[in-house]
Structure 1
Amino acid sequence: MSLFSIGLSGLNTAQNALTTVGHNISNAATTGYSRQNTLIASAGAQPGAGGYYGQGSNTTSVVRVYSDFLNSQLRNAQGASAQLSTYSNQISQIDNLLGDQSGGLAPVMQSFFSAVQGVSNTPADPSARQALLNAGQSLAGQMRSVNNYFQQLQQGVNSQLQSSVTQVNAYAQQLAQLNTQITQATAAAGGQPPNDLLDQRDQVASQLTQLIGAKVVVQDGGVYNMTFGSGQALVMGSNAFSLKAVASAADPSSTTIAYTLPNGNSVEMDTSTITGGSIGGMLQYRSQTLNSAQNAIGRLSVTLGQAYNAQQALGVDLTGQTGGNLFKIGSPVAIGNTNNTGSAQVTATISNTANLTTSDYTLSYDGTNYNLVRASDNKTVATAAGAGATFPMTLSADGLNIQVSSAMSANDSFQIQPTRNVAGLMDMAITDPAKIAAAGPLRTTAAATNTGSGTATVTKVTSGFSMPASAITATYNGASYVFTDASGATVTPTSSAPNASGNGTDYTFNGITVTLGGTPKAKDSFTLTPNLAGVSDNTNALAMAKLQTAKTIGGISNFNDAFAQLVNDIGSKAKSISIASTSQDSITTQAQNAQQAVSGVNMDEETVSMMRFQQLYQANARVLQTASTLFDSILGIN
């Protein structure tokens, strides 16, 4: 081996190394770029007189400075960060809506309660009655507005899922193509790694992880396969399997993810298995927060509406008529699965608002039993045997009655949404202030000639009551009361029993209970008069006012408590998710710093390397110059 060859090999080696250093420097700011290193080896030696003499150096390969472990850690951390960040950004919208103390639902509710109190204070005042109608209209309007906002959030989730699925498919196709290109490039270069293509593939894999929490499985030969969910393949070598954003079979208004099988058919996935990435965060936000929050507002509207409607029906208005509904309210919805094969119809009604939850339900038939499952905790809350069942069949749970019209086919199912969109249908049922049933149906008057200390009080009015045809006179005969109508005919109470408090006796007339107590004397009497005008009587309005603090929700919460609990739950969850997101971002930053410490381009190091290889180049050039001088000297010998 001549000195010329040795010097030339050194020049080539130095030039290759300088090229790699220059490539590193030019890509120092390129996202996903891994620093490259030129591997240099001795060209070996050959025997000669006195020993083995070296043959210079060779460039064996250019490789990435890369840690598969650190890159895998970084991908997983980025997927977790994307999930929590998406969840946090979405839940903050609900938190801001419900937490608005100036323009939100809370002040409107309080204005309505104040207006009810105003009617109870001055039942004959037309302005107080009109103020109640106005406040009720504002409350119903705010309920509809909040529900509409929740519907917009639901549509936003659908839209973002569709957009994200399009991105997933594009990245999956790109990664499959890169797998092919890397295999071909490696073969064409005699097994040398195509470093820049490898970096591009890692970057695409990172994007997929941030979108859907996909996992990388390295196949023999370095091919990337990617899976997601419960192991579904997204990329297998050079093949990419597309996802679809489709309308859920259980609820067509909700977009879900469908997986494409190798034969081209699509299968709707169980979205609970999709974790990680922005899609996982979006699905988790919808299932764990958005749906239940919208249901909670619906429960509040239907509970409040039914409570005031029920109390309104126990009074009389200014025309002497029994009160009609104060509010229009929505009803539960039962949605048949689009894959159902039977013809059964399912309807749902609310039997007891106090027992309502904020969960949806699924009614399914497995071929043997009908099962009603609560979605919030996946608990079966009602069941019925299919064999020998009589239809229509009713299953009851959590304040709901679920009626099945006829036998369901095996594996058919229905999703029950008791309160999802009922707030969107809330409105005032009356517009005439005179129709507010502020008065009680019966008035009691003590005779002016009474000498005892007896009392007569209307203590209870039950649903479906009817007022007496005429006034009833209750006369104490020294032992008990005798009841007569305007003509003097005897009237027999529907029922009579000792008062629960022990202070008198309860007499009921067609659903109206009057308690006669105290210590009357013989010939004392009281007149029970049908309230045919309802003027200046606030009996029923007082009962309406008490509904503000009544434990009407779950037997433990009033309307304000229920809304405050919802605000608190959303606020606490939003804060918790925000903290978790910040913490995860810190972990991701640490993982990125660790990865960059190995694979990132350090300009100081590259500068030193450039100077070193520049000197190497110059030194090898001097070797060539020396060889040339020696050769010239030999040629100059005479």
Structure 2
Amino acid sequence: MTLIRTSDLLSIAASGINAHNNMLRTTGNNIANVNTEGFVRERTTYVAQLTGGVGRGTTERILNTFAQNQLRRDTTTLSEAQSFYDKISQLDNMLASEANSISGSLSRFFASMQTAIDEPGNLASRDLVLGEANSLMERMSSLSKYMRQMEKDVNQELTSVTQEANDLIKTISALNTQIRYVESASTQQEAGVLRNERDLAIQKLSEIVAIETRNLDDGSTMVHLKNGEALVMEAGVFNLFQISGDPDAQRQRLTLVASNAPVTLGVDETEMGGKMGGLFSFRDEVLGPKQRELGQLALAFADAMNEQNELGMDYDGQLGAKLFELPEFQSLGYQDNSAPNLAMNGRVEENQAENLTTSDYRVTVNAVNAGPPATLDVTVELLNSDGSPTLGTNGNPIVYTYAGANALSTGAGNWSSIGDGLEVEFPSGAYAVDDRFLLQPTRNAASQIDLDVLRGEDLAFASPIKAEGNINNLGSATVVSTAVTNTHVDNAAPFDPDTSAFDGTGGLQGPGAAPGGGVGAPTQIRFTAADTFEVLDSAGTVITTVAGATDLRNLIEQAKGTPGWPAAFSSPPLDDYPGYDVSLEGVPKAGDTFSIGYNTDGVDDNRNGLELAGLQDVNTVRRDASKPFSDQNATTFHGAYADTVSSVGEKSATAGIELKAAKAMQQQSNDWFQSVSGVSLDEEAANLIRFQQAYAASARILSTAQTLFDTILSAAR
């Protein structure tokens, strides 16, 4: 069938002029917006009219959805890698700097200690030890404060990017509404400018968080997080991010709040991606753990030095005192506690810092038991720095329960152990079931430890015990070592469980002063045979007899295992009495005696100083919270710090590699997207010439039609 064209030459020419004029306009718009951010080049297409001429045209953006989505994903990956690397490289540079190295300070401290114990009577050398100790504490404090400031900066940055994300979510939702309105009024034209603005907002949002999009038939675009939670929904509904901290206001948590209902949705921060995900990853996977590792190291060091110094005798002949003052920690109460002013305090148990972990501790009240004093049944949960449970070797969360006879006492001054070298106090009066508290003992501890002595004389380099054989002994046995394990002074009943035999005035407890009152502390060993010896007090009274001794090491420890050892000296009630021991070497003869006494005037003695200096090689810092402290599950002070530095360095190097890969991927996807949707000036210039010529040709047709019309009119005259 032959189609009959009914359009005249004039209308055909006019439609061509209009069509090519629009094409020129579109090309000009593309050229004008070549540097406009987010602009997607447009194309105007026409269809021929059935009756002749150009039909209705459509202007639309040239867009490859797959390239656009890939660019968004690669942008998210790059932004996450960049924000993570920027932060971890700062921390890595700080830890790797020799000027800030705790390892160097530790080495200088122990070197000064070694110099001082070589000449324990030299006061200048003793003062140098205190100077290096103060420098070490300042270095730890400085690094801890730097990490705390980084934590504040990260939280502020999270608050800022959260607000930026919320603004973009609102913008996307509003633009969706405008696009639906505009395009519903003209089905032949896209709202190109609005779509560009919306896609640019989505692109910027993909820099902050990882998102997925879904295009609807009405022109709007829905936006979701990778885990499926919606950010932009239909009908102008959207969800906004909310930053809050419970119970720790300094540690921001992320939630979603619906715009059309009072509903709060949980968000997995580790799956956020983008800049926000990079910041969360740095805070939770690097900064938080390293803060706690530094605090654990500082507490373990200070407590170990305190413990060993207390087992010695100082320059003035007094029992050693603590060198460092360890802090008490105030817990954080949760917002839903029964009262806002409820408190729980924590501290390190004396001489138990080796058991510390890097975990936080959440204490939940399960029952309140009437007193006095009132007691609490509680559950103690170990948490990682990101709030997730610390897992045991069986893969289950580590939880301690205290109830019944093991319930924790309330009241100021009543401290109760909760394990891992920690004890807590509940000073408030009215606790209720489900009250919860978060204890973070190692988070900022490195900046809270103070040097507690000012005089070099307070360094207890000498041992408070001296043992020697009688000059008239006939055997070959000699004293090879003494050991001091407890110097706690308590001279009045009821005696503390940790009481020692030291009376605090330069002597040992005699009969009547020692626990039990019958006999005094061991001050003499007398052999009645090569394998039998008696333990006597200062009055010459036999405390007990040891027969069948197989060796001469730890003679008092052997005496503790005999039936004659006083029950008042045993455990219970006392844990470590008398707190010292002596070991011999050789073969004693009957009648040989060895005296044990306070080391009066032992200024040149350095036995305890050697123990202090030797602490740098002792495994004192616990590694794994899932296993009890042991020599295998611990490391030295240097080892602990080296683990921290190497871990950050390794993560920083890996982050640098990932950043380079992310940049390459993002550049590749951007090139792909721009090859389709970007404006090419060469292509647009060619189109400009082509459309201009078509426009001129259409105008020529119009001119020809006018000439023909004039000719017909002339002929009719």
Same fold (TM over 0.5): yes
Q: Does 1:20 align with 2:60?
A: no
**Aligned partners of 1:382 and 1:396 also within 8 Å:** no
Counterpart of 1:382 in structure 2 is 399
**Structure 1, 16-25 or 329-338: larger mean CA deviation:** 329-338
Change in 2 beyond 3 A, CA 1:366/1:188: farther
Counterpart of 1:43 in structure 2 is 49
The residue identity in structure 2 corresponding to 1:9 is S
Instruction: Return the offset for 1:586.
Output: 2.0
Instruction: State TM-score, norm by structure 1.
Output: 0.89
Instruction: Return the offset for 1:90.
Output: 1.1
**Aligned partners of 1:260 and 1:266 also within 8 Å:** yes
Counterpart of 1:589 in structure 2 is 667
Instruction: Return the offset for 1:180.
Output: 2.0
Instruction: Return the offset for 1:61.
Output: 0.7
Counterpart of 1:359 in structure 2 is 359
The residue identity in structure 2 corresponding to 1:384 is T
Counterpart of 2:445 in structure 1 is 422
Q: Which runs of 5+ in 1 are unaligned?
A: 46-54
**Aligned partners of 2:100 and 2:139 also within 8 Å:** no
**Aligned partners of 1:497 and 1:506 also within 8 Å:** no
SS in 1 for 2:596: strand
The residue identity in structure 2 corresponding to 1:520 is P
**Aligned partners of 2:469 and 2:594 also within 8 Å:** yes
Change in 2 beyond 3 A, CA 1:386/1:180: farther
Counterpart of 2:683 in structure 1 is 605
Counterpart of 2:540 in structure 1 is 490
**Structure 1, 385-394 or 98-107: larger mean CA deviation:** 385-394
Any residues of structure 2 matched to 1:93-112 within 5 Å, and which? 93-112=90-109
1: distance between equivalents of 2:180 and 2:452?
72
1: distance between equivalents of 2:99 and 2:65?
53
2: distance between equivalents of 1:102 and 1:183?
61
Query: Structure 2 residue aligned with 1:213, among 205, 210, 213?
Result: 210
Change in 2 beyond 3 A, CA 1:335/1:490: same
2: distance between equivalents of 1:483 and 1:189?
108
Counterpart of 1:183 in structure 2 is 180
2: distance between equivalents of 1:478 and 1:510?
25
Counterpart of 1:567 in structure 2 is 645
Change in 2 beyond 3 A, CA 1:384/1:358: closer
Instruction: Return the offset for 1:454.
Output: 1.5
**Structure 1, 167-176 or 124-133: larger mean CA deviation:** 167-176
Change in 2 beyond 3 A, CA 1:64/1:362: same
CA offset digits 1:566-615 (Å, max 9, x no partner) = 11111111222222222222222222222122111122221221121111
Counterpart of 2:571 in structure 1 is none
Change in 2 beyond 3 A, CA 1:21/1:150: same
Counterpart of 1:238 in structure 2 is 236
1: distance between equivalents of 2:366 and 2:685?
71
Q: Does 1:506 align with 2:555?
A: yes
1: distance between equivalents of 2:226 and 2:332?
26
Change in 2 beyond 3 A, CA 1:408/1:586: farther
Query: Structure 2 residue aligned with 1:468, among 508, 518, 522?
Result: 508
2: distance between equivalents of 1:266 and 1:427?
47
Any residues of structure 2 matched to 1:529-544 within 5 Å, and which? 529-544=597-612
**Aligned partners of 1:331 and 1:419 also within 8 Å:** no
Counterpart of 2:269 in structure 1 is 272
Instruction: Return the offset for 1:144.
Output: 1.0
1: distance between equivalents of 2:358 and 2:554?
42
Instruction: Return the offset for 1:349.
Output: 4.2
1: distance between equivalents of 2:535 and 2:639?
45
1: distance between equivalents of 2:85 and 2:405?
50
2: distance between equivalents of 1:133 and 1:496?
44
**Structure 1, 476-485 or 528-537: larger mean CA deviation:** 476-485
Query: Structure 1 residue aligned with 2:616, among 537, 540, 548?
Result: 548
Query: Structure 2 residue aligned with 1:624, among 691, 697, 702?
Result: 702
Change in 2 beyond 3 A, CA 1:112/1:264: farther
1: distance between equivalents of 2:363 and 2:534?
56
Counterpart of 1:9 in structure 2 is 15
Q: Does 1:203 align with 2:200?
A: yes
SS in 2 for 1:185: helix
Counterpart of 2:381 in structure 1 is 372
2: distance between equivalents of 1:152 and 1:12?
65
Counterpart of 2:495 in structure 1 is none
Counterpart of 1:301 in structure 2 is 298
Instruction: Return the offset for 1:239.
Output: 3.9
Instruction: Return the offset for 1:373.
Output: 3.8
Counterpart of 2:36 in structure 1 is 30
Instruction: Return the offset for 1:197.
Output: 1.1
**Aligned partners of 2:534 and 2:546 also within 8 Å:** no
Counterpart of 1:321 in structure 2 is 318
1: distance between equivalents of 2:289 and 2:192?
49
**Aligned partners of 1:317 and 1:534 also within 8 Å:** no
CA offset digits 1:394-439 (Å, max 9, x no partner) = 6845444567789975654322312111111111110011111110
Q: Number of matched residues?
A: 625
SS in 2 for 1:41: strand
Name the % identity: 28
Change in 2 beyond 3 A, CA 1:484/1:401: closer
SS in 1 for 2:287: helix
**Structure 1, 589-598 or 151-160: larger mean CA deviation:** 589-598
Change in 2 beyond 3 A, CA 1:137/1:504: closer
1: distance between equivalents of 2:649 and 2:616?
24
Q: Which runs of 5+ in 2 are unaligned?
A: 1-6, 368-376, 392-396, 411-415, 489-499, 511-521, 558-576, 623-630
Taking only aligned residues, the RMSD between alpha carbons, in angstroms, comes to 3.1
Counterpart of 2:497 in structure 1 is none
**Aligned partners of 2:328 and 2:345 also within 8 Å:** no
**Structure 1, 24-33 or 252-261: larger mean CA deviation:** 252-261
**Structure 1, 464-473 or 126-135: larger mean CA deviation:** 464-473
1: distance between equivalents of 2:403 and 2:533?
56
1: distance between equivalents of 2:174 and 2:433?
44
2: distance between equivalents of 1:77 and 1:201?
19
Instruction: Return the offset for 1:484.
Output: 6.1
**Aligned partners of 2:120 and 2:603 also within 8 Å:** yes
Change in 2 beyond 3 A, CA 1:506/1:369: closer
**Structure 1, 17-26 or 445-454: larger mean CA deviation:** 445-454
Q: Does 1:436 align with 2:445?
A: no
**Aligned partners of 2:82 and 2:659 also within 8 Å:** yes
The residue identity in structure 1 corresponding to 2:618 is A
Instruction: Return the offset for 1:74.
Output: 1.6
2: distance between equivalents of 1:636 and 1:282?
83
Change in 2 beyond 3 A, CA 1:147/1:43: same
The residue identity in structure 1 corresponding to 2:383 is R
**Aligned partners of 1:257 and 1:268 also within 8 Å:** no
**Structure 1, 82-91 or 443-452: larger mean CA deviation:** 443-452
1: distance between equivalents of 2:19 and 2:547?
111
Counterpart of 1:49 in structure 2 is none
SS in 2 for 1:548: helix
